[in-house]
Structure 1
Amino acid sequence: MMYVGLDYHKRYSVATKMGEDGEVLEQVRLLNDAPCLLEFLSGLPPDTKIALEATGSWYWFYELLEDRGTELHLAHPLRTRAIAEARIKTDRVDSRILAHLLRTDLLPAAYIPPRAVRDVRETLRYRASLISLRTQVKNKVHAILSKNGIRPRYKDLFGKGSLRQLRALELRPAYAEELRGYLRLAEALQRLIAEVDARVEEIAKDDPRAMLLTTIPGIGYYSALLITSEIGDIGRFPSARKLCSYAGLVPRVRSSGGRTHYGPITKQGSKYLRWIMVELSPHFVRGSSRMERLYRRVCLRHGKNTARVAVAREMLKVIYYMLRDERPFYED
């Protein structure tokens, strides 16, 4: 059997071929285009295993190998300490260490969601990017109004009443042209968001797990689909605490000399799952008397932000049992 460690970059990759005895057979530099990579793969034995670090551009290469049926292992970047702690860090050293960890069965594997889940994630993150762009446009419009000493009368800056007010403003030509452009951009973003919202609703209604989560007060189609797509297979988490750790919602722990200190949350793992749970925490507080009691108790001692995180963590535990047992939400 052959083991291949691949140090993957945007434009090129460095591959190390390693035998079962740990001997480095070959190290090559490859351009990241399909013909070059496929030519390299065609020269490998059928039972070859490949290790690839989970960087930002691993999707394309993984799907190239997935279609070919090659066995690929994705390495968790934070846990591949052998690379991070190496005194000499080069592309060749990194690829060799990946091959060695794979050969010795010490490679810290990262979760690879199925292609259907990856596609759902892309749709949800596309919507999040549109919302971010709309927020940027709102901030630009607020800046124009501030420069002209105008305070908007409406809370929703891009609502119907507010848009009528903005279009009726008499500003100097430079500001008027700028405002018209941003309003046209806002209208285009609104249409795109409406289109993707319809698509999200369609996907969520076909997903029993997402519909299960909509029984929780405050969770809609987008939130439910985002949570289920980020979690993936609930069976890969042996406990609710492991799921909370994956979301980065557990505190850092330092224990030495019989003393244990708990710090802020780790913020490691899925940033999207952590974000949506914290964003939904006010809805959880309003919709559940148990969460309201937890929020008030933690808020008195540690403040509002810590209380929101505590509610987010507790609700994620509830979601874990809902998905594991396939049951709807109910108040204890």
Structure 2
Amino acid sequence: MAFEKISVIGLDLAKNVFQLHAVDEAGDVIIRRQLRRNQLLQFFEHLPRCLVGMEACSTSHYWARELVRLGFEVKLMPPAYVKPYVKRGKNDAADAEAICEAVTRPTMRFVPVKSCERQALLMQHKTRDLLVRQRTALINALRGHLAEFGIVTSQGRLGLRAAIEALSAAQEFLPEPSWQPFEHIRKQLEELTHKIAELDRIILRWCRNEAAARRLMTIPGVGFLTAAAIAASVGDATEFKSGRQFAAWLGLTPRQNSSGGKERLGRISKQGDRTIRRLLVVGATAVVRRARLDAASFPWIARLLDRKPAKLVSVAIANKTARIAWAILRRRENYRFATA
């Protein structure tokens, strides 16, 4: 059968209809076919075991695990790296063909397939981020409604506490129709705070039981949230050839627009995991604040602050922290503070 000659398969994922593009070792097309969701695994069971390429997306890790169970070699690629291989006209067939070609390129960079356990931990991070955004929206609504009645408080945790205290003190002076909406907002804030704290305890417990996360937490500016996100997302640090490649994967390296021997570096690319990138920058900002108070302990940061804005220094520290994190994961060692 012609199916026996298949060597590479490009699979374009979707919710219900999947596009498959298979070629032989010479690059000749063997199969171009659409498959429904309930037909996919059954169809792959009758194919010879070969290389399967897919774009990394929300469902790609599930399908990758299922195909690996059937004996296929599965590689996931960032969609931005597959796009240049689309010839002309974007449709499912063209996308599947581009994936099939891109997965065979020797310079292609791949995304590690996550296990169910690691995806579950990352789901806790995403849920926590969602709850934090909801809490922020409620805080803004509370402060805005109070301002309409002449009660103005500062931002931040102290401002929230002051707003709730002011709400309790002014309860009898506020119009009766406003009592119930204010109470709904206050109760939701309290409930969200408890849920966020509960997720924090779960993530911290996982970090204490995971050797890689414990090692990452020895780095200045890396707390349990950052350590858990990196340990769950990366898994095997050998997927990256260097710390710079890992930092580039997180979008912390500058974009280049170099030509004619002239090197031009711009802002960071921001291509990659935005959650880890944000956590690293937040942690680096804390290190900058500490360096301002104790310049002797962070001499190179102090010298940077003399020449560059604080936000730029924070991003530079986040870049360096990402490279240190890769080295620690690769060598399985704790962070060692410089003695001089």
SS at match of 1:260: coil
- Quote the RMSD (CA, aligned, Å): 2.8
Post-superposition Cα deviations, 1:267-324, rounded to whole Å, max 9, x if no partner, equal 1222222111110113223167578434443334332221211122223333333333
- Is the 2:207–2:224 Cα contact (8 Å) retained in structure 1? yes
SS at match of 2:258: strand
Corresponding position: 1:244 with 2:247: yes
CA shift for structure 1 position 22 = 2.5
- Number of corresponding residues: 328
Letter in 1 for 2:275: Y
2:31 paired residue number = 26
Q: Which moved more, 1:244-253 or 1:313-322?
A: 313-322
2:52 paired residue number = 50
Post-superposition Cα deviations, 1:164-188, rounded to whole Å, max 9, x if no partner, equal 4434433224432222111121122
2:337 paired residue number = 330
CA shift for structure 1 position 232 = 2.9
1:178 paired residue number = 181
CA shift for structure 1 position 159 = 6.5
Letter in 1 for 2:126: R
| Residue ranges of structure 2 left out of the alignment (5+ in a row) | none
Q: Which moved more, 1:154-163 or 1:110-119?
A: 154-163
Change in Cα spacing, 1:67 to 1:145, as seen in structure 2 (3 Å) is farther
CA shift for structure 1 position 119 = 2.5
TM-score by structure 1 length? 0.86
SS at match of 1:255: coil
CA shift for structure 1 position 204 = 0.5
Letter in 1 for 2:136: T
1:11 paired residue number = 16
- Is the 1:298–1:310 Cα contact (8 Å) retained in structure 2? no
CA shift for structure 1 position 93 = 1.6
Alignment of 1:192-211 (within 5 A): 192-211=195-214
Q: Which moved more, 1:277-286 or 1:69-78?
A: 69-78
Change in Cα spacing, 1:314 to 1:98, as seen in structure 2 (3 Å) is closer
Post-superposition Cα deviations, 1:51-91, rounded to whole Å, max 9, x if no partner, equal 2111333233233324444322212211124435x222221
Letter in 2 for 1:182: I
- Is the 2:18–2:34 Cα contact (8 Å) retained in structure 1? yes
Post-superposition Cα deviations, 1:139-177, rounded to whole Å, max 9, x if no partner, equal 111111122221237852686675444344332244322
- Is the 2:112–2:234 Cα contact (8 Å) retained in structure 1? no
Letter in 1 for 2:304: V
In structure 2, what is the Cα distance between the partners aligned to 1:36 and 1:271? 34
- Is the 2:10–2:52 Cα contact (8 Å) retained in structure 1? yes
Letter in 2 for 1:23: D
1:109 paired residue number = 110
In structure 1, what is the Cα distance between the partners aligned to 2:275 and 2:244? 18
Q: Which moved more, 1:22-31 or 1:268-277?
A: 22-31
- Is the 1:154–1:161 Cα contact (8 Å) retained in structure 2? no
Alignment of 1:274-285 (within 5 A): 274-285=277-288
Letter in 2 for 1:17: A
In structure 1, what is the Cα distance between the partners aligned to 2:303 and 2:309? 10
- Is the 1:234–1:323 Cα contact (8 Å) retained in structure 2? yes
Change in Cα spacing, 1:105 to 1:308, as seen in structure 2 (3 Å) is closer
CA shift for structure 1 position 28 = 1.9
| Residue ranges of structure 1 left out of the alignment (5+ in a row) | none
